[in-house]
């Protein structure tokens, strides 16, 4: 059994317009790194955090809380040290806290000899995610762990369905350098919705899932519509409408708010289209004076994974 490992915890896009709190995808090339060590003393200790100002106290840290949930369930006669190297900005809307929570349970599980499957680890990761967002939800931690697309069919009991991505699907993500807390984004939502909007939304979600299984890019694009959450949240993101329209004008299947924002995502077919959309979004947002990052990514099929030391 290994005594030390290093892992990659990828960024994710949740909601995807039509799938609020139930749908997510895993990104390639964007993510955190974490190091785990077995130590004689029982418990979980965070020994180093780089790239972000986060609590070192285990019970206050997203990764620490998730790790403790798993360790408490197994109760091994040894403990763990964790290093967290953040490369996903907090509050970016591409699963920063989820990467920490998912990475924590993946790493601990590896050093325990894999007593749990990746699907089973989602439940433990949700405990950590609740520290960041105020509620246990799996739309980011599930794709981070499992890769591909994930659909949370239900929480009681938890049921997560992993779906392979169509081969030529690309994601473009624009992250403005402003922080938007998930709790603030949730505060603007309405507790009730109209029947007409609900029918439209669940039709789009069903269409999107069908489009994934059949690799029907046109159907995916027609289904990437949000009539419930986006109208309320988009005012929190500077120049959202202009950037979304730019992406659509340059060939995006659809575009919307990544997670709780402020990142804006677009999906498209083909790398050349993705690069054209990236340039157009960059040119458009450069005029705002707000600093930003831009990423182009295929859909990551692996999810959280081991790195060679």
Residue range 262-279: mean pLDDT, rounded: 98
Mark 111-127 as b/e (b = at least 16 C-beta within 10 Å): bbeeebebbebbbbbbb
Continuous H helices in 90-181 = 96-111, 118-133, 141-146
Residue range 253-273: mean pLDDT, rounded: 96
* From 28, 33, 129, 230, active-site residue: 129
pLDDT score of 299 more than 80: yes
Distance CA 201, CA 247 (A): 22
* From 12, 58, 182, 246, active-site residue: 182
Summarised one tens digit per residue, pLDDT across range 114-158 is 999 999 999 999 998 878 777 788 999 999 999 999 999 999 999
**The pLDDT of residue 236:** 92
Q: Is 182 noted as a catalytic residue in this protein?
A: yes
Summarised one tens digit per residue, pLDDT across range 238-260 is 999 999 999 999 999 999 999 98
Residue range 204-221: mean pLDDT, rounded: 98
**The pLDDT of residue 25:** 98
Q: Which residues pair with 52 in a beta bridge?
A: none
**The pLDDT of residue 135:** 75
Instruction: Kindly list the strands in the beta sheet with 169-176, ordered across the sheet, starting from the edge strand earlier in the chain.
Output: 254-257, 264-269, 169-176, 292-298
pLDDT score of 110 more than 90: yes
Phi first, then psi: give them for residue 279, nearest 5 degrees.
-65, -45
**The pLDDT of residue 1:** 61
- pLDDT above 70 covers a percentage of the chain that reads 98
Nearest alpha-carbon partner for 101 in 83, 120, 70, 126 = 126
Q: Is 110 noted as a catalytic residue in this protein?
A: no
Summarised one tens digit per residue, pLDDT across range 11-29 is 999 999 999 999 999 999 8
> Confidence band (pLDDT; 50, 70, 90) for 180?
confident
- pLDDT above 90 covers a percentage of the chain that reads 88
Summarised one tens digit per residue, pLDDT across range 58-106 is 999 999 999 999 999 999 999 999 999 999 988 888 999 999 999 999 9
């Amino acid at each position: 059994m290994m005594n030390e490992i290093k892992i990659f915890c990828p960024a994710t896009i949740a909601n995807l317009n039509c799938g609020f709190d139930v749908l997510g995808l895993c990104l390639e090339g964007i993510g955190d790194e974490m190091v785990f060590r077995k130590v004689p003393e029982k418990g979980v200790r965070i020994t180093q955090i780089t790239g972000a100002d986060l609590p070192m106290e285990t019970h206050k840290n997203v990764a620490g809380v998730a790790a403790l949930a798993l360790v408490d369930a197994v109760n091994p006669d040894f403990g763990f040290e964790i290093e967290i190297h953040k490369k996903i900005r907090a509050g970016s809307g591409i699963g920063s806290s989820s990467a920490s929570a998912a990475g924590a349970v993946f790493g601990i599980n590896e050093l325990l000899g894999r007593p749990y499957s990746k699907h089973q680890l989602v439940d433990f990761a949700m405990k950590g995610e609740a520290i960041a967002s105020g509620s246990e939800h799996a739309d980011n931690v599930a794709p981070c762990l499992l890769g591909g697309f994930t659909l949370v069919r239900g929480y009681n009991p938890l049921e997560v369905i992993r779906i392979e991505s169509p081969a030529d699907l690309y994601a473009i993500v624009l992250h403005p350098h402003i922080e938007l807390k998930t709790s603030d984004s949730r505060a603007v939502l309405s507790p009730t919705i109209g029947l007409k909007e609900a029918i439209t939304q669940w039709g789009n979600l069903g269409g999107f899932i069908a489009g994934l299984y059949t690799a029907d890019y046109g159907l995916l694009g027609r289904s990437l519509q949000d009539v419930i959450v986006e109208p309320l949240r988009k005012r929190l993101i500077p120049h959202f409408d202009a950037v979304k329209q730019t992406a659509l004008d340059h060939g995006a299947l659809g575009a919307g708010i990544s997670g709780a924002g402020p990142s804006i995502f677009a999906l498209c077919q083909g790398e050349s289209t993705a690069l054209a959309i990236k340039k157009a979004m960059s040119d458009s947002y450069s005029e705002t004076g707000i600093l930003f990052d831009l990423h182009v990514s295929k859909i990551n099929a692996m999810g959280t994974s081991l790195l060679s030391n």
